Structure 1
Amino acid sequence: MSVPEDLLVGLRRARDRIDRYYAEPLDLDALAATAGLSKYHFLRCFARTYGRTPHAYLTERRVERAQDLLRATNLTVTEVCWLVGYSGLGSFSTRFRRLVGASPSEYQARWARTGPPHVPGCFVLMHGLRDRAGGSAIPEKPSAERTRGESSA
C-alpha cells in the first residue's frame, strides 16, 4: 500500500529537515509537525515511503557525516561524535560500527593511512560555529553602485 500523493510533500519536508539539521536534537513530534501529520501516522507513512523509520534515517545521516569528518579532518572521534549530534561516545560508536562495520577509530586510522591530507579540525570547528551563528566566512564587498552613491552624499 502506497502513501497518498498529497502526503509526500510533508514527508519530503520532514526528510529535508533531518538532512539539514541532523546535528540538532530532532524528535518525532517536531518532525511530524513539519510534515503536518500526527506522530504515529507520520511514523507509518515515513517508514512506508523511505523504507526506514525517521530515527533510522537520522542515524544514517549522522553516521554518513561522521564518516566524512573522520576521513577528511584531524578531529578526534569524540569531537566528531559531538559535531554530528550524539551526546554519548558509546551510543555513537555502537551505531557507527553497526552501520559501517568498523569502529570510528578503526575507520579513521584506515583513512589516515590511505586518504588525502586532513583539514585541520580548528577550521572545521570555526566554520561550523559561524554557520550556526548565521555569519559568513567571506565578508561581502560593497557593490560599485552603493559605493558611488555613498561617496557623492
Structure 2
Amino acid sequence: MSSPATDQHLRDLTLLRRVRDRMDREYAQPLDVEALARGVHMSSGHLSREFKRAYGETPYAYLMTRRIERAMWLLRGGDLTVTEVCFAVGCSSLGTFSTRFTELVGVPPSTYRAKTRTTTGMPSCVEKQVTRPIRNREARPAAPQLA
C-alpha cells in the first residue's frame, strides 16, 4: 500500500514529464514557466522546484538548452543568419540567445557556424555527439568504467 505522499509524488512526476515533453515539442513557441505551470495546474514556484529536483535544472534552463541544440543543427546545415536562427528557435532576444549559446557551446553562434562549415572529417553521428551542448554544468562527470 502506498502513502498519499508517494502517490502525490508520482502524480507530480507524470505532470513534470508532460511539461518536459511540451518543451521538447513546442520549443520554438513563446513558453514561460507560468504558462507551463498553468497547463498542468501547478503553481509556477512548485513547478520550478519539482522540475529542478527531478531533472537537475530549471524549466527555463531546459528550454534554452533545447533551443540551443536546435540552433546548433540549423547553424551547421542551413543558410539562415544567426539572427534568423535565433528567432526560428523561439528566442526573442539576440543578445540572450548569443550569451546562452556561448555558455553552452563554448563559442559564439557566428564562430560555431564558421567552424562547422569547414569539413570536420568526422562521421556525422560522431560529430553530433562531440558537438552536443552540456546541459547541466553542475553535474559531476561520470566515473570511468573499468573493463
Matched with 1:99 is 104
Matched with 2:115 is 110
Structure 1 residues 1-153: aligned runs within 5 Å: 4-114=9-119
Superposed displacement of residue 41, structure 1: 0.9
Distance 2:80 2:67 in 1: 16
Unmatched 5+ residue regions in structure 2? 1-5, 122-147
Distance 2:40 2:51 in 1: 10
Distance 1:54 1:91 in 2: 16
| 1:87-135 Cα distance to aligned partner (Å, 9 max, x none) | 221111111001000010110011111169xxxxxxxxxxxxxxxxxxx
Q: How many residues align?
A: 115
C-alpha contact 1:22 1:84 (8 A) present in aligned 2? yes
- How much identity, in percent, do the aligned residues show? 54
Distance 2:17 2:41 in 1: 11
Superposed displacement of residue 75, structure 1: 1.0
Distance 2:44 2:110 in 1: 36
AA partner of residue 67 (structure 2): R
| 1:24-78 Cα distance to aligned partner (Å, 9 max, x none) | 1111111112222121111110010000000000110000000000011121111
User: Secondary structure of 1:36's partner?
Assistant: coil
Distance 1:104 1:61 in 2: 15
Unmatched 5+ residue regions in structure 1? 117-153
TM-score, reference length from structure 2: 0.73
C-alpha contact 1:66 1:81 (8 A) present in aligned 2? yes
Distance 2:119 2:75 in 1: 13
